[in-house]
Structure 1
Amino acid sequence: MRSREAHRVARRITAVAAIFVVAAASAALAQPAILAGDTIRSLGERAMGYKPMSLDHVNIFVRNAERSHRWYTEVFGLHTQDTMYHPGGERLRAAFLACDPGHAHDIALFEVGDDAALQQKGQVGLNHVAWRMANLDDLAEIYRRLHDKGVPVRVSDHTVSLGVYFSDPDGNGLEVYYELPRNQWQQERPFSGGGAKGRFPGPWDEVLRQQTPALTSV
């Protein structure tokens, strides 16, 4: 009798386990797949019900806040939204700058002193901060401004965008760029799609002709 009862219990346990296995398999099939090739989905896209609105601002350490504040406003034409000073003095400690005066800030510059170590080439950390221009004419204007100020630049044609790369007085990497509207990309992927270059005529034409493909980067 006990043997038959134990057998019935074992069968029930097996049946319940089978139900759980089927349910788990169904749930897994219902999840969006992470595919290679044309369809790419990150774990965040698959698992999260939220995402940030956008990347909003950057905070940069500089050796001299006064110098950097002047440089960023002269090069980019940014609005000064707020400033902070060192205690007991008139020396600038931090500045908050924005492209749009209706936005709190796009970049904050915090002074860390003249003896602070500068970034080293190839070290782990931020590569560059990119500023998107509204059109190709605006990109050409800031390109000429950088040239007039004697700022060394590098230009890269990414097929869907054109980027101008340079550094601020403390060696922080910067980029100004213009990107085509999505319906003009003529390719699915922005950087590995193999699109045609040469769609961004401007004062950088000769520089691009002289550069080798090995110098381009995103």
Structure 2
Amino acid sequence: MAADSPQLPSETAVGRVALTVTDCDRVSAFYTETVGLTVQTRDDGRVVLGDSETPLLELHADPDAPERGATETGLYHFAVRVPSRTALGAALERIERTARLDGASDHHVSEALYLTDPEGNGVEIYCDRPRTQWEEHDDGTVRMGTDRLDRAGVEGASDGASSVPVGTDIGHVHLEVADLDATRSFYADGLGMNLRASAPGACFLAAGSYHHHVGANVWHARSGPGGGRGVAWYELRVPEGALAEVRRRLSESGYDSESAEEGFVATDPAGIRVRIRPSR
């Protein structure tokens, strides 16, 4: 572990998520009609979606990409964070009209809906509760849980919107990994995130005091990375002045990185590429 290194700045946020898919048209239709994202650009083999202003999701077409195997690490879900309960209610209506809801939970810090895209990628759509309502344990970790969602209340808050509002972002990614300790070390000791919560077989880490920017679990006994469909990479957006310090910390903690796209790329122990780039 790098000694006396500052933690990842609290302004850090998750940026874009990129998925490798076999059928861009089918998958992008799901993300527009059900999730409520807007297609921003579409070119040969690549579709970029987001709210009406900010790119959040990239779909990269590979018609020959195999399905992720049962033992391969990768994405558990990525989480689209909407800015209000009103927007969450509209998302619930879209899901009930066009797809299938896999789950709905009250996590104490947030209210969340769960579904699966046409190629098996997990998607969460959620809205945070005000931070004044979050509770912390004596050790400084945040209290999270999984209770039944007040679906009637969420749906009753809907404004019927067909798309997500401006201000929607990617709140976190949740990964299926092979080694929880190694993953925790990469994100905490290497990148400088804080351990915010733990559960049997899972941990949740964040920059600053957010409930989590990265979740990781070993619930399905994954053993190693694959090379087919699923997450290709995701971004962490870091204040520009902190980029060099973050990269130094990674290096001193024993993790390699390579320069790319205004920042650098590192690969976590589950084989998932993390692009660290300056904040917008």
**TM > 0.5 fold call:** yes
Where relative contact order (Cα < 8 A, 6+ residues apart) is larger, the structure is 2
Q: Structure 1 residue 58 and structure 2 residue 17: aligned?
A: yes
Q: Structure 1 residue 95 and structure 2 residue 47: aligned?
A: yes
Question: Which AA in structure 2 matches 1:110?
Answer: H
Contact 2:15 2:56 in 1 (8 A): yes
Q: Give the gaps of 5 or more residues in structure 2.
A: 155-199, 204-214, 216-280
Q: Which residue of 1 aligns with 2:83?
A: 134
Deviations 1:3-54 (A, max 9, x none): xxxxxxxxxxxxxxxxxxxxxxxxxxxxxxxxxxxxxxxx679414764732
Q: Which residue of 2 aligns with 1:107?
A: 57
Q: Give the Å deviation of 1:110.
A: 0.7
| CA–CA distance in structure 2, aligned partners of residues 171 and 61 of structure 1 | 11
Question: Which AA in structure 2 matches 1:165?
Answer: Y
| CA–CA distance in structure 1, aligned partners of residues 108 and 85 of structure 2 | 14
Paired residue secondary structure (2:119): coil
Q: Structure 1 residue 47 and structure 2 residue 5: aligned?
A: yes
TM-score, scaled relative to structure 2 = 0.47
Contact 1:63 1:116 in 2 (8 A): yes
Root mean square deviation of aligned Cα: 3.3
| CA–CA distance in structure 2, aligned partners of residues 167 and 175 of structure 1 | 9
Q: Give the gaps of 5 or more residues in structure 1.
A: 1-42, 86-92, 206-213
| CA–CA distance in structure 1, aligned partners of residues 120 and 5 of structure 2 | 38
Q: Give the Å deviation of 1:132.
A: 0.8
Q: Structure 1 residue 156 and structure 2 residue 105: aligned?
A: yes
| CA–CA distance in structure 1, aligned partners of residues 62 and 143 of structure 2 | 42
Work out the number of aligned pairs and report it: 155
Q: Give the Å deviation of 1:76.
A: 2.6
Question: Which AA in structure 1 matches 2:5?
Answer: A
Contact 1:119 1:172 in 2 (8 A): no
TM-score, scaled relative to structure 1 = 0.59
Paired residue secondary structure (2:99): coil
Alignment identity in percent? 25
- Larger Cα Rg: Structure 1 or Structure 2? 1
Instruction: Say which is worse superposed, 119-128 or 146-155, in terms of deviation.
Output: 119-128
Deviations 1:98-152 (A, max 9, x none): 1242x3x111001110x42223456311211101121222212211211111324
Contact 2:104 2:112 in 1 (8 A): yes
> More strand by proportion, 1 or 2?
2
